[in-house]
Structure 1
Amino acid sequence: MTDIDARLAELGLTLPDAPAPAANYVPYVISGNTVYVSGQISQGPDGLILGKLGVDTTTEEGAKAAATCALSLLAQVRAACGGDWSKLKRVVKLTGFVNSTLDFSEQPKVVNGASDLLVEVLGEAGKHARSAVSAASLPLGVAVEIEGIFELV
């Protein structure tokens, strides 16, 4: 077991299988030492995590939804590395989309759910640049979608 696997187990977290794309795109692209991971939607073991922040979903629930996106991002990175975590150098950037009302303004607090999880699991290598933006709607009505850029060694 690698340090990342051990850390996930210590935190009681399980990575899902890398989700298959839902349309005509690939889940990730490797270019040089960079992995670009397509947007990962909020979903847990019980299915999709739906909702609109500012109407029927709280900031705290949104942050938990964002954390599931981070787990799916890590699952995609694991697949991109062929299961070899030693190839992962760091998280470079996340872009988080939050399904929210026009007056909802806590998108950064929602996307913190993903950022906090990545730092908890990866330590310094999990710190990253980030954008957190509102979206009037997201695919399938999910609460959060996050895409990521990762550096390989």
Structure 2
Amino acid sequence: MALSPFHLAIPVYDLPAARKFYGETFGLNEGRSSEHWVDFDFYGHQLVIHEHPITSTQESTHTNAVDGHNVPVPHFGIVLSWPEWEALAERLKGFGTDFVIEPYIRFKGEVGEQATMFLLDPCGNALEFKAFKDMGQLFAK
């Protein structure tokens, strides 16, 4: 099944720091931009960072318990192939990333077993990157 690219616009209160983070830390290609927003190619999807005053979720992160960890809410991210996820985890560790949840295998030995990691961008937006060895379990119950 071919997926359509999504478009996601998020608030950032420090545009230069967020631009550097998404461009350098992740190595995302930059698209159109202005002095108040920047488009990025987020693994084939359109991520736009928009300059905006700090939001309440950026000031104080809410969490929900999942598999013994406090998962930040809201968050967004991408499901990568297993090798891409492993390479990204190593890249982020190489940048000295301060993870909210360190890279690990969630639901080990259960339906929906997945690799996951959580981090915050410089403006407090939470991101999750995950991978499934069996992509057929993406929506498994």
Q: TM-score, normalised by structure 1?
A: 0.22
- Which has the bigger relative contact order, CA under 8 A and spacing at least 6? 1
More strand by share: 2
More helix by share: 1
